[in-house]
Amino acid sequence: MFVDLPDVQTLSQIYQLSQPIRIEEVEQDLHLIHTPEGDFSLNIYHENTALDQQRYLHWLLMSLSQFDLSFKVPYPLRDDKGATIHNNATGQSWVLAPRLSGQTIISNDPDHAYATGLALADLHRALAKVQPLTRPGFTDYNIEARTLPNLRTVLPQHPTEVGVNDSPEGRHRLLRFTQLAERFWQSPPPPNNELRWHIVHGDFFGNNLLYDGTLVTGVLNFSTSHPDYRVREVAEVLMRAANDLGSLFWGTARAFVEGYAEIAKLTAAEIILMPRFIVESAVDRVLFYSGTDVIMASDALRAQEDISAW
């Protein structure tokens, strides 16, 4: 597909960037723009690309720009007409955003887990003040459908789908898992003042977090943001912190919770629902890998069993 890449002069004029400017191709529709002001990512969208989700993302990022967050997010730059999505004469669109720097998370590191908790609570504090608009094309998460998408899929029917042997023990483990999964087809109680419901990040872990020392300095990839229970995201990140290397490590889970509590306190109703969302997250992880990656499914099943027993 033809890519109408802007030249240096055009970039300078549209985004008021100082020269010299150097353009580096990462892939066909993604380029790095090196300038005296810093480095930027230029994403190119084609005329047949639905931009509704990108507009939603920009609305959310610009809403966050009014808050004094403890970390940076990649706010899109406005062009010479004040728009965050620049439309050119060939039907393509350009989006320019700062490229954030930092190191990625170290798995099962309590210091990083503590910093993750601090940053998530800071983000939630800001998002609670943003109108919880549903993300276009992402209707699985809304007040009418409050269960995870993977939990509404077909359950595994054979032990080998979750990476265990077809034996009496394996069939028993699968039966216990499917019975547990079926419990989560019933939606949680409706959100209220005690069960906080607002936009959440959606994937607050791993390469989406940047660190400098033991502080989160940047949060990337808000493309999965959507309205949801606040406590569900806390539970999901808690599970990632405790289980990112395949075995449970509660030192990181404890550090994450302590970091979150420094800024935000869960309500009594949220604490009651926390075990449900913790186990739900573990069940959803098994279903995600079921039938496609037996090794990951087996690891996820073992973690789910440990978590459920705990």
How confident is the model over 194-218, as a mean pLDDT?
Answer: 92
- The answer to whether residues 171 and 238 belong to one domain is yes
What's the pLDDT at 49? Answer: 67
Domain boundary, last residue among 99, 122, 156 = 99
User: What is the percentage of the chain residues whose pLDDT exceeds 70?
Assistant: 91
- The answer to whether residues 69 and 150 belong to one domain is no
What's the pLDDT at 143? Answer: 47
CATH number, domain with residue 19: 3.30.200.20
3-state helix/strand/coil string of 180-203: HHHHCCCCCCCCCCCCCEEEECCC
User: Is there a domain that residue 1 lies in?
Assistant: no
Task: Quick: pLDDT tens for 272-305.
Answer: 999 888 888 888 888 888 888 989 899 889 888 8
Task: Quick: pLDDT tens for 88-99.
Answer: 877 788 999 999
Domain boundary, last residue among 73, 99, 125 = 99
d(CA 81, CA 40) in angstroms, rounded, equals 19
d(CA 289, CA 186) in angstroms, rounded, equals 22
User: Is there a domain that residue 2 lies in?
Assistant: no
Q: Across the chain, what does the average pLDDT equal?
A: 86
- The answer to whether residues 152 and 286 belong to one domain is yes
Domain boundary, last residue among 99, 115, 142 = 99
- The answer to whether residues 32 and 167 belong to one domain is no
1 pLDDT above the threshold of 70? no
Range(s) of the domain holding residue 160: 104-309
- The answer to whether residues 141 and 272 belong to one domain is yes
User: Is there a domain that residue 14 lies in?
Assistant: yes
- The answer to whether residues 170 and 281 belong to one domain is yes
pLDDT-derived band at 139 (thresholds 50, 70, 90) equals low
- The answer to whether residues 72 and 117 belong to one domain is no
Please classify residue 222 by burial: count the beta carbons closer than 10 Å to its beta carbon, then call 0-12 exposed, 13-18 middle and 19+ buried: buried
- The answer to whether residues 66 and 114 belong to one domain is no
User: Is there a domain that residue 151 lies in?
Assistant: yes
What's the pLDDT at 144? Answer: 44
User: Is there a domain that residue 125 lies in?
Assistant: yes
User: Is there a domain that residue 3 lies in?
Assistant: no
pLDDT-derived band at 191 (thresholds 50, 70, 90) equals confident
User: Is there a domain that residue 197 lies in?
Assistant: yes
- The answer to whether residues 44 and 23 belong to one domain is yes
What's the pLDDT at 121? Answer: 98
- The answer to whether residues 143 and 253 belong to one domain is yes
Question: What is residue 128's DSSP assignment?
Answer: T
Give the other-Cβ count within 10 Å of 144's Cβ.
7
Task: Quick: pLDDT tens for 220-279.
Answer: 999 889 888 999 999 989 988 877 655 667 888 899 999 999 999 999 999 999 988 888
Give the other-Cβ count within 10 Å of 126's Cβ.
18
141 pLDDT above the threshold of 80? no
Question: What is residue 76's DSSP assignment?
Answer: P
What's the pLDDT at 265? Answer: 94
- Lowest pLDDT segment from 47-51, 212-216, 248-252: 47-51
Nearest to 160 by CA among 172, 150, 174, 180: 174
145 pLDDT above the threshold of 50? no
- The answer to whether residues 220 and 112 belong to one domain is yes
- The answer to whether residues 162 and 296 belong to one domain is yes
User: Is there a domain that residue 295 lies in?
Assistant: yes
184 pLDDT above the threshold of 80? no
Give the other-Cβ count within 10 Å of 158's Cβ.
13
pLDDT-derived band at 3 (thresholds 50, 70, 90) equals low
CATH number, domain with residue 145: 3.90.1200.10
pTM here? 0.86
Structural domain count, the chain: 2
